[in-house]
Structure 1
Amino acid sequence: MARLLTVAELASRGLPTDPAAHVVGELAANAALHGRVPGRSFRLRVRSSSPGSLRLEVTDALGERAPRPAPRSVGPDAESGRGLLLVEALAERWGVTHGPFPCKTVWAEVSLLPSSGPTGSRSAAIRYATPSSA
């Protein structure tokens, strides 16, 4: 549902839907699977962070379970473990912001501009930086 809502909103504004749809899908799936607290859902926020860039935020109520990138050696038969690798590859940068207690927000920034090369090529120090430290 989060992916569909994101695609509908971006398309209604005449904005490209990729890679935002893929990143939102992964962040929302992680929130539903790993950040679920009975009786609570997650919040999706999509906004322009700068001209030509979108900030995608998924907030859940399980702040003590912060996501970590999977090892790069996920087996070919593994049925999970690639979500954050996809986010890392598609986003210009991403990270986690904690609070207010007990919540956490996993965010990613994606470019709306055509790229001459693959995204996600920035260093890990920039990619995982919090918004205030970048």
Structure 2
Amino acid sequence: MNHEIAAPSRTGQPGIPTGHFAMRFSSTPRGARLARRLAGQRLDAWGIPYDCEAHHTLTLIVAELAANAVQHGRVSGRDFHLALARDATTVRIEVTDTRTEGVPVAATSTDLRDTGHGLLLVQHLADRWHWHPRPDSPGKTVWAEYVLSADS
């Protein structure tokens, strides 16, 4: 299910694109790849072009959060949900899965062998990140926010 809603401008600055994108994906590696690709297309449509640093960083964050949802949050027969929101200064990424066990924790550089590095990358690339339990059903949402520079 795809939802594209133009969010109201919070800044009052004309010409600053704002928006919201949300879609469910199968909890498979293919679903994670599709989430990254569609996020990249949406970012470009919102004025964050493919060849800029912000685009590369944001698509990497989406890729890591989607891969974590598939690898660690997968429940057979259940999808994960990706939501993107952009205002004049910030892009927020939310990935929701249906698994309730486990608390998302960023690995330290010394324990990468056992736990991977996805959330460690997110921690270093995003300006803010955290997680919360899913309020309406089992699962959790991991979110990250990236503050755009003036030339993004």
Pick aligned residue for 2:140 from 101, 104, 109: 104
The CA distance in 2 between the partners of 1:30 and 1:91, in whole Å, is 16
Instruction: Give me the whole-angstrom Cα distance separating, in 2, the residues matched to 1:112 and 1:70.
Output: 26
Tell me, yes or no, if the aligned pair for 1:15 and 1:112 is still in contact at 8 Å. Answer: no
Counting matched residue pairs gives: 112
Shift of 1:99: 2.0
How far, CA to CA, are the matches of 1:44 and 1:73 in structure 2? 30
Equivalences for residues 1-134 of structure 1 within 5 A: 1-16=34-49, 17-48=55-86, 50-74=87-111, 78=113, 81-100=116-135, 101-113=137-149
Structure 1: which 5+ residue stretches go unaligned?
116-134
Cα deviation, residue 113, structure 1: 1.2
Q: Which has the larger radius of gyration?
A: 2
Q: d(CA) in 1 for partners of 2:46 and 2:97? A: 27
TM normalised by structure 2 equals 0.67
User: Structure 1-normalised TM-score?
Assistant: 0.76
Unmatched 5+ stretches in structure 2 = 1-33, 50-54
Distance in 2, Cα, partners of 1:70 & 1:42: 22
